[in-house]
Structure 1
Amino acid sequence: MTSLDRIAPAFVEMAHTIVWASVATVDTDCRPRSRVLHPIWEWDGAQLTGWIATEPTRIKLTHIAAHPDVSINYWTPSHDTCSAEAAVEWVLDDAGRTELWERFKNGPAPVGYDPAILPSLDGGGPTSEKFAGWKLTPTRLRVMPGTVMTQGSGEVLTWRAGE
C-alpha cells in the first residue's frame, strides 16, 4: 500500500498524459456500462479530486442515483495503466457548472479544452441543460508502468481510502 501523497502525483501525471479513460457506471439492475470520457484531476498536496464534464442524460442520472460510484481506467499501447474507483457527486447547479466549464477551459494541456466544442451543447454554454459534470472523490488508485508487464521491472502503486 502506498500513501496518497506518493501515488496521487504519479496518478495525475499518467492520467493527464493518457487523457481519455474508460469510465464504468452501474445501472439499477447492477449491470455495468462503460463509456470513454475525459477527466481532469487536481492534486493540492492533500486531496485528489477529479472532474468530468458530461451531459446529464437519463441513463447517467439513473445510474449515479442508484450507485454513486464509478470505475475509471486509463491504458496506453505500451501497457502503462492507471485506474481509480471514485465516489461521484453531480455538478448540476449553475454556479457549479460555470466553475466546471472554466476548470476545463483553463485546464492544463492536454486535458484542458473549451467545452463549447461539445456537439451535444448545440451552441449552449455552461448553464445549458445539456452540460453538467461529476465531482470525483477517489476511494482507490492504482498506477502500473507497462514495464511491470513487459519487462518485469517497475513498481505498481496502490492506495485505498482509510488504509
Structure 2
Amino acid sequence: MADLATTAPAFIEIAHRIVWATAATVDPSGGPRTRILHPVWEWDGERLTGWVATSPLSPKARHLEHEARMSITYWDPSHDTCTTDCRAVWELGEDERAAGWQRFTDAPEPVGYDPRIIPGWTGPEAPSFGILRLEPTRIRVQPASLMLGQGGELHTWRAA
C-alpha cells in the first residue's frame, strides 16, 4: 500500500487533467445514484481535500443527508483512472461559501471556472450555491501503462 504523500499528487495529476468525474451516492432507499461533478483537489503535504461547488437543494444533498459518503472516479480514453471514496461535508457558512467560490475562480485551468456560468449562481450567497468538502478515506490511482503491461505503478492508500 502506497503512502498518501505519493498517492495524493498522482491522484491530482490525473484528476485535474481529466477534470470531470463520475460521483456516486446512495439514495435513502439504498439505490446507487451517479452524476458528473467537477471537483478541485488540494494537497497541503499532509491532507488531500476535494471541493465541489454544488447545490445544497439538489437530490445529491438529500442522498448525503442519508449517507455522507461519495465515491469519485475519473477515467480518460487512454485508460488512466483514479478513484477516491470520501466523507462528504457541507460547507454552508457565509465565509465558507465565499472561500469556496473564490477557490473555483482562482483555480488554474482546466479546473478553474467562474461559478456564475451556473444558472442561479449570482454569487456565493445564492441559495442554490453550496460547497461540499470531500475528505478521502481511500484513494486508488492506476495509470493506463500499468493496465497495458507497459510498466507504471498502482497507488492505493487507505485512511487509518
Matching of residue 55 in structure 1 with residue 55 in structure 2: yes
Partner secondary structure for residue 116 of structure 2: helix
Point out where structure 2 has 5 or more consecutive residues left out of the alignment.
none
Q: What is aligned with 1:144?
A: 142
Q: What is aligned with 2:156?
A: 158
Larger mean CA deviation between 151-160 and 136-145 belongs to 151-160
Verify the 8 A CA contact 1:51 1:136 in the aligned structure 2: yes
Q: Percent identity?
A: 49
In 1, the alpha carbon distance for the partners of 2:7 and 2:147 equals 19
RMSD after superposition: 1.1
In 2, the alpha carbon distance for the partners of 1:48 and 1:61 equals 22
Q: What is aligned with 1:93?
A: 93
In 2, the alpha carbon distance for the partners of 1:155 and 1:58 equals 38
Verify the 8 A CA contact 2:120 2:126 in the aligned structure 1: no
* 1:1-163 correspondence runs (5 A): 1-121=1-121, 124-162=122-160
Letter in 2 for 1:130: S
| Shift, 1:19, TM fit | 0.4
In 2, the alpha carbon distance for the partners of 1:116 and 1:58 equals 18
In 2, the alpha carbon distance for the partners of 1:58 and 1:36 equals 13
Partner secondary structure for residue 22 of structure 2: strand
Question: With structure 2 as the length reference, what TM-score do the two structures score?
Answer: 0.96
Point out where structure 1 has 5 or more consecutive residues left out of the alignment.
none
| Shift, 1:57, TM fit | 2.4
Question: With structure 1 as the length reference, what TM-score do the two structures score?
Answer: 0.94
In 1, the alpha carbon distance for the partners of 2:120 and 2:134 equals 22
Deviations 1:57-88 (Å, cap 9, x if unpaired)?
A: 24122111110000000000010000100000
In 2, the alpha carbon distance for the partners of 1:73 and 1:81 equals 7
Deviations 1:83-134 (Å, cap 9, x if unpaired)?
A: 100000012122111110000000122111111111242xx21110010021
Partner secondary structure for residue 97 of structure 1: helix
| Shift, 1:151, TM fit | 3.0
Partner secondary structure for residue 138 of structure 1: strand
